[in-house]
Chains A and B, each alone.
Chain A
Amino acid sequence: MNAIMTVTGNDHPGIIAAISTALAGMGVNIVNVSQTLMGDYFTMIMQCVLSEDAPDLATIQTRMKDAGERVGVVVHIQSEAIFDAMHRL
């Protein structure tokens, strides 16, 4: 399954490292990344592919939320289906 993850919070060193390490540990592959700073506000959107043996999305959400909290950012991860449905005909 493809999923979209967004990461937002105040910028500081180590955010991408923390997030990508946590994802790698669960067998989630990052296929596309967009990252911008609005002032000091860090915004990152990742397109991920969950491997066959990755945990289910609810488990990934819980773990990524914890991983995000440890470095002071908010993480959302959702099935790509929701964005396809809303923005594509």
Chain B
Amino acid sequence: MTTSRTAAASQDPTDPATAKNILETIRMIEEERLDIRTVTMGISLLDCIDSDGQVCRRKIYDRITTRAQDLVATCQGIEAELGIPIINKRITVTPISLVAAASGEDDYLPFALTLDAAAKEVGVDFLGGFTALVDKGRTHSDKVLIDSIPQALAATEYVCSSVNIGSSRAGINMSAVAAMGRAIKQSAELTASIAGLGAAKLVVFANAVGDNPFMAGGFHGIGEADCCVSVGVSGPGVIKRAVEKVPGRSFGTVAETIKKAAFKVTRMGQLVGTMAAERLDVPFGIVDLSLAPTPAVGDSVARILEEIGVERVGAHGTTAALFLLNDAVKKGGMMACSHVGGLSGSFIPVSEDIGMIEAAGMGAIGLDKLEAMTAICSVGLDMIALPGSTSAQTLAAIIADEAAIGVMNHKTTAVRLIPVPGKEVGDQVEFGGLLGRAPILATSRCGSDEFVARGGHIPAPVHAFRN
């Protein structure tokens, strides 16, 4: 055997510490479900704009299928080489309300179908960007897009939609909030045969970010370059295992433990993103530090909170535990990457997290506690199944509450609600795959119709006198 200098300088398994590290990494991947949740290519479509809608759509199709033609194969190569799964390969594009505006068309369903065809052609899991940004006001194009959302989500497989209805700078566009309540309701109704899944591909934001690699709310912001790749990491299992090793220890120790584990998880994101960017010959965008759960056992954010000490997620203390977790993940993750962005917080989707599903099923957590939790972490009320009879006004009022938290606290908040047709409180709904399953949660028995009917704008908050 000969030992090359470079080999000896790096991972020498005869060094016990190195051997321990190697086995730790493999255990994280094999047993603790460490994976890369997504490699997302952001593609600008601004120069596809054309006054002829058909020409515009052809340019969009060509742009996506050219830019992203090697995305999936490249990611698969990286998966094999590093031995770490990359669960989703995705694309985000410039908000379609901007790209389609010049076409003057009054229905954007054809644009959604074009995006769907392009996504299918390149083999990605999702494509986000059927999007409008209306925090201050709505253009004609924004209105057309929002009206097209229910049909677009029902007619496509891969397309995801998002609408930004508020910002700390502009306040909350309540007319748009009301429209989104209706869009969610219709999206669920048009996809009633598949449990209202259309609504699961629709996110309503306040303070939306243009570099979010996660779905369904990802889009390629107008401040972004022509093309880039960004990465979303996962790894709740790794964090939970780390916290298991410090039972009964003080919060300082817990925070320190989470930081170290988050650092390791995030380094994977940085490595995969760097490799993907190099091989696809596009700039590396950002690593999103979000802890993203899946419904699989051992991949739950709720379980980390329970490991910190609450009996079930939703018990008193949950918000504080989430605050610690969210902050420690960021502190550990920021050191691990060159560029951090996106949503970067702990996700608490109800249907996609086994601990959340269980807690909601036994009544340990409800909409009110979930809302409180969103005040200190991204990303908001996520993947929450509601009774099919929930009115568009109630949905809008929930959006308004969530947006208020984001706008007032200078953070991103999002709402992804599914009013499941034909289901009532106490029922369970199965979405399948990464979207999981969820018990139907109760909304308030009291209405908000007059509140929503006012329309107009809630002004931006004052940024002094913060209390």
Contact = CB atoms under 8 A, between A and B. Distances in A.
B80 A83 contact: no
Nearest to B265: A86
Contacts of A43: 23
Nearest to A57: B81
B25 interface: yes
B22 interface: yes
B324 interface: no
B13 A33 contact: yes
A49 B5 CA distance: 11
B444 interface: no
Contacts of B11: 2, 4, 47, 80, 83-84
Interface in B261-313: 264, 267-268, 270-271, 275
Interface in B229-285: 264, 267-268, 270-271, 275
Interface in B1-50: 1-4, 6-8, 10-14, 18-19, 21-23, 25-26, 30
A55 to B, nearest CB: 12
B2 A58 contact: no
Given A46-B13, A86-B264, A32 B81 contact: no
B82 A84 contact: no
Contact of B22 (A29, A45, A81): A45
B83 interface: yes
A77 B81 CA distance: 8
Given A31-B2, A47-B13, A80-B10, A86 B21 contact: yes
B84 interface: yes
Given A4-B13, A85-B268, A32 B25 contact: no
A2 B8 CA distance: 10
Contact of B267 (A4, A61, A86): A86
A76 B26 contact: yes
Contacts of B81: 57-58, 78-79, 81
A32 B3 CA distance: 7
Contacts of A85: 267-268, 270-271
A47 B7 contact: yes
Nearest to A87: B21
A45 B13 contact: yes
A32 B13 contact: yes
B10 A29 contact: no
A30 B271 contact: no
Contacts of B432: none
Most B CB atoms within 10 A — which of A2, A61, A83?
A83
Interface string A2-21: 10101000000000000000
Interface in A23-66: 29-34, 43, 45-47, 49, 56-58, 61
7 contacts: A31-B1, A49-B7, A56-B80, A58-B81, A84-B10, A85-B270, A87-B21
Interface of A: 2, 4, 6, 29-34, 43, 45-47, 49, 56-58, 61, 76-87
